[in-house]
């Protein structure tokens, strides 16, 4: 299969990147991060989550972040919603696109959203109904597609029914998440090969955490499988509060560098993106997790 000509990057840094941070991050710093990212040319930014603040305290200020950002035309500003309450709160905050999130493993579903996989899918139905009525697009996530922190191995055949259920209930795109970042390029190819028998490739996205240093290879493996949408985090921010030891998403800067080298268009300005990553890394008092950013800023 030939490589795609264009790729869309879904920037999840402000959400997946920051959700696990123990130190308080001000609304102003979050707003600045989102604005820096849209100025760098990102066309899709996951800004926050409308989840229980007891479960994920860092996302508690998401409505204020939405109120503070500059909403540029052509940019999608999205948020996670785990239930109807979260969906309604998101709408009240002016969110135009939401994401629901399920898992391929029962244990992770319980730890992450306190219910079984099938209960979670039932919980999403009223969201889908309301979303249709309000003209809100819904993206779906499946976590633990290449392994679970509690159950270990996860087979592609376990992922397919969950991805298919999300697609069938109206998610326009389903992002397959390697939450623990342990999957390899071989696993990734097989995953998309199997899942795409029931969900069209055009409706699938890849979401790779970089715990084992395989994320960029997995992005390339996905491109070879015809996947054209990837989730990534500026400066490689992040981790999941319910996947201990898992590191951040693949760095947006590193994916962009890979894509540029392949002549694949994204519309993103690498220098501005690096500046955005440097700024938030400074706020967090941490080394930039993007290898490309580290190389460029060392010059
Ligand atoms: P629960 O405790 O079972 O819910 O949590 P509940 O309905 O019994 O409610 C408990 C309390 O939460 C109540 O408050 C509710 O009002 C409140 P209390 O009466 O105790 O004061 N509540 C809410 N508050 C704010 N917003 C809401 C909301 N819903 C209930 N929407 C629940 C169930 C799903 C709410 C909880 O488990 C939760 O919020 N989980 C979120 C977990 C999360 O955000 N995880 C990280 C994102 S997923 C991820 O990172 C993976 C991904 O990146 C892909 C990958 O890498 O694989 C997407
Ligand atoms: Mg994630």
pLDDT value of position 2: 86
Whose C-alpha lies nearest to ligand 1, atom 25? 52
When computed from its CA atoms, the radius of gyration of the chain, rounded to whole angstroms, is 17
Query: Contact, 266 vs 7, CB < 8 A?
Result: yes
Where do we find the tokens 């999941």? 240
Range list of H helices, 117-267: 117-134, 156-168, 185-195, 215-224, 252-261
pLDDT in tens, 248-263: 999 999 999 999 999 9
Question: Is the Cβ–Cβ distance between 116 and 106 less than 8 Å?
Answer: yes
Distance of CA 142 to the CA centre of its chain: 10
Q: Assess whether 240 carries a catalytic annotation.
A: yes
Spatial distance between the Cα atoms of 229 and 67, rounded to a whole number of angstroms: 27
76's enclosing H/E stretch is strand 76-80
Distance 248 CA to ligand 2 centre (A): 8
CB 33 within 8 A of CB 67: no
CB 188 within 8 A of CB 196: no
User: Would you place residue 246 in the very low, low, confident or very high pLDDT band (cuts 50, 70, 90)?
Assistant: confident
**Which of 144, 148, 171, 240 is an active site residue?**
240
Chain segment 279-288, per-residue pLDDT in tens? 999 999 989 9
Residue 100's CB: how many other CB atoms inside 10 A? 26
Of 107, 18, 28, 38, residue with least CA distance to 67: 28
The dihedral through the CA atoms of 75, 219, 149, 170 has a sign that is: positive
The band of 235, judged by pLDDT with boundaries at 50, 70 and 90, is very high
Q: What residues does 148 pair with on adjacent strands?
A: 152
pLDDT exceeds cutoff 70 at 221? yes
| pLDDT tens track for 34-87 | 999 999 999 999 999 999 999 999 999 999 999 999 999 999 999 999 999 999
Residue nearest to atom 23 of ligand 1 (CA): 52
Can you read off the two tokens belonging to residue 32? Answer: 């600045």
Q: CA–CA separation, 150 vs 83, rounded Å?
A: 24
- Pocket lining: 51 vs ligand 1, CB cutoff 6 Å: yes
The crossing angle, in degrees rounded to 10, of helices 215-224 and 252-261 is 40
Which residues, 6 or more positions from 245, have their beta carbon under 8 angstroms from its beta carbon? 149, 180, 211
Cα–Cα distance for residue pair 91/40, rounded to 1 Å: 26
Mean pLDDT, the chain, whole residue set: 96
How far apart are alpha carbons 42 and 172 in whole angstroms? Answer: 19
* Local structure of 43: helix, strand or coil: coil
- Beta-ladder partners of 143: 103
* pTM score, whole prediction: 0.97
Q: Give the closest residue (by CA) to ligand 1 atom 40.
A: 113
Higher pLDDT residue, 142 or 242?
Answer: 142
Q: How far apart are the first and last CA of the chain?
A: 37
pLDDT in tens, 161-198: 999 999 999 999 999 999 999 999 999 999 999 999 99
What is the pLDDT at residue 1?
67
């Amino acid at each position: 299969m030939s490589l795609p000509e264009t790729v869309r990057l879904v920037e999840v840094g402000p959400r997946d990147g920051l959700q696990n941070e123990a130190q308080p991050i001000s609304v102003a710093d979050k707003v600045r991060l989102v604005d820096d990212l849209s100025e760098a040319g990102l066309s899709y930014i996951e800004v926050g989550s409308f989840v229980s603040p007891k479960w994920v305290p860092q996302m508690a200020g998401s409505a204020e972040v939405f109120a503070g950002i500059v909403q540029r035309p052509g940019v999608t500003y999205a948020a996670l919603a785990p239930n109807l309450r979260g969906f309604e709160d998101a709408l009240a905050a002016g969110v135009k696109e939401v994401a629901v999130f399920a898992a391929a493993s029962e244990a992770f579903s319980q730890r992450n959203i306190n219910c079984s996989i099938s209960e979670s899918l039932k919980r999403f139905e009223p969201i889908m109904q309301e979303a249709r009525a309000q003209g809100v697009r819904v993206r779906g996530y499946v976590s633990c597609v290449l392994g679970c922190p509690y159950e270990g191995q996860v087979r592609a055949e376990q992922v397919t029914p969950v991805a298919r259920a999300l697609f069938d209930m109206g998610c326009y795109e389903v992002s397959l998440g390697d939450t623990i970042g342990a999957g390899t390029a071989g696993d990734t190819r097989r995953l998309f090969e199997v899942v795409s028998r029931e969900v069209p490739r055009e409706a699938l996205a890849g979401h790779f955490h970089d715990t084992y240093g395989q994320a960029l290879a997995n992005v390339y493996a996905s491109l070879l499988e015809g996947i054209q949408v990837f989730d990534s985090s500026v400066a490689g921010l992040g981790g999941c509060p319910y996947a201990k030891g898992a590191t951040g998403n693949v760095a947006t800067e590193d994916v962009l560098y890979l894509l540029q080298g392949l002549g694949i268009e994204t519309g993103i300005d690498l220098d501005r993106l690096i500046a955005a990553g440097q700024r938030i890394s400074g706020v967090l008092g941490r080394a930039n997790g993007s290898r490309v950013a580290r190389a460029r800023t060392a010059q």
